[in-house]
Amino acid sequence: MKKFARCTTVCLSLFALCGVLASSMASAEETQWQKDHPRRTEVNKRLNKQNQRIDHKLDDGHMSRAEAKKLHKEDQNIRQQERDMARLDHGHITKSEQKVLNQEENQVSKQIKNAN
């Protein structure tokens, strides 16, 4: 019985170690992707932040479900544009494409700010 307990402990320890290594490898890949695609990273971070702002306004009662749905849809459209632009240039977006996306995000941001 002691051999079984020792084996189980060793197996569980190895399993946990594998999980830690896998998660650290995944985060390293994300970091490398962020380094390789800084413009896309910036655009996507803004979109995520705006989604959080929309949800916060909805939760606080400062925005109706219909308004939140409309703004989320606008953000989804911007995200799809970003993906479509990147698909045309081996996963990258140009400075001018980033500028267009930022201008669109600015419009959504103003709508979030002005929501009552």
pLDDT, tens digit, 9 for 90 and up, residues 27-37: 456 668 778 88
pLDDT tens figures, 9-27: 544 444 444 454 444 444 4
CA distance 112 to 116: 9
What is the token pair recorded at 90? Answer: 């081996």
In this prediction, the residues of the chain whose per-residue pLDDT falls under 70 are 1-31
> Hunting for tokens 């109706």 — which residue is that?
64
CB burial of residue 67 (10 Å; 0-12, 13-18, 19+): middle
CA distance 69 to 65: 6
Q: For position 57, what pLDDT does the model report? A: 96
CA distance 18 to 40: 31
Q: For position 29, what pLDDT does the model report? A: 60
> Helix (H, G, I), strand (E, B), or coil: what is residue 89?
coil
Element at 65 (helix H, strand E)? helix 65-87
Give the E-state strand segments of the chain in sequence order. none
Q: For position 34, what pLDDT does the model report? A: 75
CB burial of residue 75 (10 Å; 0-12, 13-18, 19+): buried
